Amino acid sequence: MSKREDKMSLDDRSENKGKAYLIDQVSLKRLLFLAVIISVLPVVLIFVGKFTHILESYFIILMYTIAIFFFTYLFFQNFQKKLLQEMKALVKKEGIISGELLLVNTEEKLKNVLSLEFERCFVKNIASSVVFFDIDSLGEINSKYGYNTGDQIIIEIILSTKRYISNSQVLKDTGATLARVKGDTFALVMPNITEKTAFNETYNLKKIIETLNLGIKESITCRFAVVTFDQWISEDKFLDLAYEKLKLAKDYGKGVIL
């Protein structure tokens, strides 16, 4: 998923919220108008019919009309205020989400990093590794809790991975790079890291992700595919091979490392 698609998805949700707000506002105005008409109608009929012998009923209905109008108006104002607060909170939250999602490297940036890393490994005759991983059952989480929860999970995984890189004794000075290559698929480039070490680091990252407390019943797990290279290869071909391995990892169940 590209930066533009991320922004569009968030804008769409804000637009839909705005449309819902306008619809609710129109509905409440109609309800207010209908309540007034229903309440005033008996009063008008009594007044036009000059039923003076039921003057007491006239005043009772009049007071009832005023009460209906007053409380409906208060309800409308309270509902309108609540919707405005929700809109402001949504805009603020989605602004934060959009910023975090757009700060991480993209697939295009990943290709540039890989191109340089392929050349470096080929010239110096050394090996490097890339760990590809995606979130298990994110679609089900989105369906159950909403896309905002899914976005927040993605952000927490990005932040947790960045913290892990900074704190890892193995990765922190290697120039390790994280990229979000698709919607919920990530790639962690590990320069000068052999396959065995890459598996160890992946296992540590896996444990950190699975201990995240994100306010939902389900525990968050990821599937991982470790790919090591020691020679030059085209970026597109390498990504195709990596995605195939990640797809194969899905057949082994949640939380697997291949």
What are the tens digits of pLDDT across the range 161-182?
999 999 999 998 888 989 888 8
Q: Are residues 183 and 204 in the same domain?
A: yes
At residue 24, the pLDDT reads 52
Q: What is the mean pLDDT of residues 115-132?
A: 91
Residue 21 reports pLDDT greater than 50: no
**Rounded CA separation 230/227 (Å):** 10
At residue 108, the pLDDT reads 84
256 belongs to a structural domain: no
| Closest among 212, 213, 192, 201 to 257, alpha carbons compared | 201
Overall number of domains in the chain: 2
Domain of residue 153, CATH code: 3.30.70.270
Q: Are residues 37 and 50 in the same domain?
A: yes
143 belongs to a structural domain: yes
257 belongs to a structural domain: no
What are the tens digits of pLDDT across the range 139-160?
899 899 888 888 889 889 998 9
Q: What is the mean pLDDT of residues 13-32?
A: 52
Domain boundary pick from 59, 74, 102: 102
Q: Are residues 114 and 203 in the same domain?
A: yes
At residue 104, the pLDDT reads 60
What are the tens digits of pLDDT across the range 195-231?
999 999 999 999 999 999 888 888 899 999 999 988 7
Residue 3: pLDDT band (50, 70, 90) is very low
Buried b (16+ CB within 10 A) or exposed e, 156-170: bbbebbeebbeebeb
Higher pLDDT, 87 or 116: 116
Q: Are strands 185-190 and 222-229 parallel, antiparallel or unpaired?
A: unpaired
**In whole numbers, what is the pLDDT of the chain averaged over residues?**
77
What are the tens digits of pLDDT across the range 69-98?
777 777 777 776 776 666 555 545 544 444
Tally Cβ neighbours within 10 Å of residue 35. 17
Residue 1 reports pLDDT greater than 50: no
At residue 67, the pLDDT reads 72
At residue 226, the pLDDT reads 96
Q: Is the pTM of this model over 0.75?
A: no
Q: Are residues 98 and 140 in the same domain?
A: no
**Rounded CA separation 9/201 (Å):** 33
